[in-house]
Structure 1
Amino acid sequence: MIEWEFGPADVAGLRFAHSPMAEVVAGVFALRAVGGPHEAWRRRVAPELSRWPTFRAVLCGPLGYAPDFLTPPPHGSRPTFADELAEVAATPLDVVAEQVAAGWSGRSAPPEIEWFTRDPAAALARLVAEIRGYFEVAIRPLWPRLRAAAATEIAVRGRVAAEHGARRLVDGLHPRLGWDGAALQLRYPHKHGRWSLDGHRLTLLPTGFAGGEIYAMPDSPVGRTLWYGPRGFGNVWTAEAAPKADARLSALLGPTRAAVLTLLAAPHSTGDVAARLDLSAGTASHHLTTLRDAGLATASRSGRRLLYERTHLGDQLAGQ
C-alpha cells in the first residue's frame, strides 16, 4: 500500500486540472496494456512508435518508468500542450539526465539513453520534438474528447463538493483509493511507501488514458499529482459525437432536451450545444433556457461566452 499523509486541512487545498503531458505518458502506459476500450487506438499507434526512437527509449524502458520531469504539475486547470512542452524543455539538464538514466538502472541502455549523458541539451531537444510528433499522431485526434471528459469530471466533482463538502472530492474517486482521515491510501498489493505532501498541494488529474488505473507522483520536488480515469472515459474511444441520454430521461423530457441536459455535465455555450447535437442555435437556446428556468441548469459568463451546466438537481435527474 502507498500512503500519503493527508489530513482534513489538506482537503481544502485539493485542486483539479487536465494535463496534456499526463495524457501523453498515460497513453504510452496504455500501449503496453492488453485489451480495454482503446484497443483499436493501440493497433493504430503502436506500429508508429519506431518513428520516435528517443521517446520510445525514454518511456518504454525495461523498468516501466516515466521520468517525473515529463509531467510537471499544471499551473492552471487547463494548460495547453504547448505550455507544458515548453516547461519540459526548460527542465534543468542534470535533472533530465538523472531521471532518464533511472529508467534503465542496472540494464544495458541503448544509444538514445546514453545520449542524455553525453549531450543532454541535444538529447532533450530531440525528445521534445518527438513528443510533439507523437502527440499529433496519437493524442491530437482524440484531444477534444479527452478535454471534454476531463471537463465533465471536474464540473461534476465541483458540484458534489459544493453540495456535500470537500471530503466528497475523494470519496468514490477510484476503487483503489481510500482516506482514513490521516492519509490517502493507494491499495497496490506489491507497492509500498509512505510520503507527505511536503508543503505541496495535491493536484488531481482526470486522465482519459489512465483508464481503470490510478497513478501517483508522490515524491517529486516539483509537486504531488494523482492521475485517474474520469467517469465515462471509455466514451473517448467511441465514434459517438455526444453522450447518449438515458431512455427514462428521454421519456420524461423528450429526446432532444434530455440530450442537452446530459451534455451539460460539463460547461457548454449555446454554440457548443448546437454543434455537438446538430441543432440550430435557436433550438439549442430554447432548450437551454427551459432547463435553466426549471432549475436543472445554471448559466455563468466566461469572457464573452455564456456557459451552461447542470445544477445538482440536474445531476440527480440525469443520474450522475
Structure 2
Amino acid sequence: MIEWKFTPDDVARIRLAFSPLGELVRSLIVLRAPARHSLHLPWTKATRPLLAGLDLAELFALVPIHGDTADFLTPPPTSPLPDLDDELAAVRHTPPDQLAREAADMVGTAAPIWQRIQKDPAGAAHRIADTLQAYWSVALAEHWPRIRAVLEADVLWRSQRLAAGGARLLFEDLHATVKWHGDRVSAADRHHHAAALSGQGLVLEPSVMCWPAVRKMIDPYQPTLTYPARGIATLWENGTPLAPVALAALIGRTRASLLIALTEPATTSALARRMSITPGAVSQHLGVLLECGLVTRSRVGRLVLYHRTRTSDALVANQPQR
C-alpha cells in the first residue's frame, strides 16, 4: 500500500499534468504484453511490424513488463503540457551515478547491458535518449494528437472535479484501487510506503498506456500518481458512431453522431478523424450545436475542447439506435 498524508498546503499543490515521454516508456510494456492491455491491440498490431531493425533491447531491460521501471526514464512532468524534446533532454542529462545505480537495480550488475552502461553512463544516457526518439518516430508520433486529446480532456475533467468538490470528488472515481480518506490518499501496491507530503503536493498524471493499472513514484522524486485517463475505450475507434433514430430525425444524422462521439470532451480535429469527415464540416456542425445550447467549449492550453451539455445528455440517453 502506498499512502500519502496531505496538509492544507499539499491539497493546494495538487497538479494535473501528462507526459509524452511517460506514454512512450509505458508503451514499451504494452507492446510486449498485449493481453494485459487489450484496449490497445489496434495500436500494438499496427506498430510491431514497423519496429524491425530498431534495437530496443536496452530499453526493454530498463522497462520490464512486470515490476518497476527505471525512474530516470519517467520523471514527473514539470509542466501541464510538456514537450517531448525537453523531456528527452532531461534523460540525456541524467547524472551518471544515478543512471548506473538505477540500471543495476533493474538488471543486476552481472548483466551485459549494465556493464555496457557502467563503462560510460553519460554516453549511455545519450544513446538511450536517441533510441527513445527513434522509437517515438515509429510508434507514437503519428498517434500523439489523438492520445494528447484524450489526456487533455481528462485534465480538464479532473480540474473541474477538483474545483467543484475538492480532493474528495477528485479522487472519488480516479481508480478502483485509489481511495481518499479525509486527509490522505492510498493506492494499492505490492510495496509499503507511508509518508507525509510535507508541502510538496502530489502530481496526478493521466495516461493511456498505463491502463488498466495505476503507477506511483515516491521519494526522492516528486510524489506522482499515474492513472488511466477517461475515454481510453474510444481511443482507437474509427468511423461515425451510430446515431439514435429520433435524435437524427430531429437535428440530422451528422450532428446526432457528433453528440454521440462527445461522450468525452474532444477537439474538432479528433472528432474529424474519428468520423472521417473534414475538420471544416465538424466545425460548422459544432457551431450550430453551440448556438442551440447542445455543446459547450473550453480551452486547455492551445486546444479547444467541446463538451455535451446536460440538455444533449438527456437527448442522447436511452434512445434506440439504427
Q: TM-score, normalised by structure 2?
A: 0.81
Give SS of 1:103's match: helix
Q: Distance in 2 between matches of 1:220 and 1:311?
A: 41
Q: Which residue matches 2:187? A: 186
**In structure 2, do the counterparts of structure 1 residues 274 and 45 end up closer, same or farther at CA, with 3 Å as the change threshold?**
closer
C-alpha offsets along residues 109-152 of structure 1, whole Å, 9 cap, x if unaligned? Answer: 12x22122221111111111111122222222322221122122
Which amino acid is the alignment partner of residue 230 of structure 2? R
Q: Which residue matches 1:86? A: 89
C-alpha offsets along residues 209-241 of structure 1, whole Å, 9 cap, x if unaligned? Answer: 1111110012233x1211111123133344x15
Consecutive aligned runs of 4 or more in structure 1 exceeding 6 Å deviation: none
Q: Structure 2 matches for 1:59-208, cutoff 5 A?
A: 59-60=63-64, 64-105=67-108, 108-110=110-112, 112-188=113-189, 190-208=190-208
Contact 1:155–1:267, Cα closer than 8 Å, also in 2 = no
What 5-or-longer segments of structure 2 have no aligned partner?
Answer: 318-322
Give SS of 1:88's match: helix
Contact 1:153–1:231, Cα closer than 8 Å, also in 2 = yes
Greater mean deviation of Cα atoms: 174-183 or 277-286: 277-286
**In structure 2, do the counterparts of structure 1 residues 250 and 196 end up closer, same or farther at CA, with 3 Å as the change threshold?**
farther
C-alpha offsets along residues 82-102 of structure 1, whole Å, 9 cap, x if unaligned? Answer: 121111112222222221211
Q: Which residue matches 2:57? A: 53
> Percent same amino acid among aligned pairs?
33
Paired residues, number: 310
Contact 1:177–1:184, Cα closer than 8 Å, also in 2 = yes
Contact 1:297–1:308, Cα closer than 8 Å, also in 2 = no
Give SS of 2:68's match: coil
Which amino acid is the alignment partner of residue 267 of structure 2? H
Q: TM-score, normalised by structure 1?
A: 0.81
Which amino acid is the alignment partner of residue 265 of structure 2? A
What 5-or-longer segments of structure 1 have no aligned partner?
Answer: none
**In structure 2, do the counterparts of structure 1 residues 231 and 308 end up closer, same or farther at CA, with 3 Å as the change threshold?**
closer
Q: CA deviation at 1:160?
A: 3.4
Q: Distance in 1 between matches of 2:308 and 2:298?
A: 12
Q: Which residue matches 2:320? A: none
Q: CA deviation at 1:178?
A: 0.5
Indicate the RMSD between aligned Cα atoms, in angstroms. Answer: 3.3
Q: Which residue matches 2:39? A: 37
Greater mean deviation of Cα atoms: 37-46 or 207-216: 37-46
1:307 aligns with 2:308: no
Give SS of 2:199's match: coil
Q: Distance in 1 between matches of 2:234 and 2:157?
A: 17
Contact 1:54–1:113, Cα closer than 8 Å, also in 2 = no
